[in-house]
Amino acid sequence: MLVKTDTFMRIFVNSRYNLVKQETRMSTFSAIIIEDLPLVQEQMRRVIMGTKLFHVEKKCYTSVETAIKALKNRPVKVDFVFLDVELDGMLGTEGVSKLRPYVRFIILCSDYRKKYADEAHDIYPDAFFKKPLFQEDILELVRDLQKRETWRPKDPISILVRRPHDKRIEEEKDDDKEHAGHPVRELTRVALEDIVRVKRKVREEKREGNEIDFYGLDPTGHYYLLGSMRTSLKAFYRDYERLNIFLFVTSSVMYHKDYVKDISLSAVKLKNGVKVDVNRSRRSYIEKFIASEKSP
């Protein structure tokens, strides 16, 4: 069915930090597009990315068969697939059951919604959109899916990050010269509660944009790299500031509050015994955190 439109969306998630209402600007979900027309591919990508909720893979698949071939090698499921119905070879309606083992949510898209609506009910996609896509419909879709049992609302809050460089995969070699044999960083999902340190990446060569690294702790208490994200440290902090779980200590690093033993406006002491001085420019963040912890 075509879901109702709305002008905004709030993410409802349940974790050990209780039920959280937040408007998110981070790329929260992974998505692929299966569509054989380049102009339609670009329109779909632009609209989906415009919601600020999705990381849409640059490569668009032109058939169900090629998508399945690539997805079989993935260690984790893709969150969403936006699937055209009118494809050469296997129709999108035929591909729903084939894609289900590799994708959490399947969204059928067609210019002819009435023609395929009855058939879509029989094959159980998660939603059916009429082209062209609109951001309001996608936002409402996410809100609607979160109310369903398949959303697993008890999962901890998590984010999509790129795996460390030593875990690279090769893109499927195909006829697309732009992507053939191109090495890509694989996406994985990391729970916020598993992140103990977020650090701005230091590059030897200057490049456009920002990148931050996420670290967990191994059984011996040492940091290990969970993954990275193309964003600034300040932008990441602002997106999750309402959760009040990260301490913005310096301009280049923040820590999860559960990893901090003692805190003052001038320094924080970590559970591993290390003392980190608080930058003057970050003392207002620490002051706000202390005040929020004291409030009932």
Give me the residue spans of the domains in the chain: 11-159, 195-294
pLDDT of residue 113: 56
* The pLDDT of residue 84 is above 90: yes
| Residue 242 confidence (pLDDT) | 75
* Confidence band, pLDDT 50/70/90 cuts, at residue 134: very high
Topology of domain 195-294 in CATH is: OB fold (Dihydrolipoamide Acetyltransferase, E2P) (2.40.50)
**Range with the lowest mean pLDDT among 31-35, 127-131, 172-176, 225-229?**
172-176
CATH superfamily of 11-159: Response regulator (3.40.50.2300)
Report pTM.
Answer: 0.51
Name the pLDDT band for 20 (thresholds 50, 70, 90).
very low
Who wins on pLDDT, 150 or 264?
264
Residue 228, number of CB atoms within 10 A of its CB: 18
Q: Cα separation of 52 and 202, whole Å?
A: 26
Predicted confidence at residue 218, as pLDDT, reads 84
Q: What is the pLDDT of residue 160?
A: 79
- Span 43-47, average pLDDT: 94
Structure-token pair, residue 270: 């970590």
- Top-confidence residue, 274 or 75: 274
Q: Are 237 and 264 in contact (CB under 8 A)?
A: no
Compute the distance between CA of residue 282 and CA of residue 89 in angstroms, rounded to an integer.
57
Identify the weakest region by mean pLDDT among 15-19, 56-60, 203-207, 286-290: 15-19
Confidence of residue 163 (pLDDT cuts 50, 70, 90): confident
Q: Long-range pairs for 127-134 at CB < 8 Å and ≥24 separation?
A: 127/1, 127/2, 127/3, 128/1, 128/2, 129/2, 129/82, 130/2, 131/40, 132/43, 132/47, 133/43, 133/44, 133/47, 133/48, 133/82, 133/109, 134/5, 134/47
Rg, the chain, Cα only: 21
| Of 44-58, 147-161, 239-253, minimum mean pLDDT range | 147-161
pLDDT band at 72 (very low <50, low <70, confident <90, very high): confident
pLDDT-derived band at 61 (thresholds 50, 70, 90) equals: very high
Tell me which of 74 and 227 has the higher pLDDT.
227
The SS3 call for residue 286 is helix
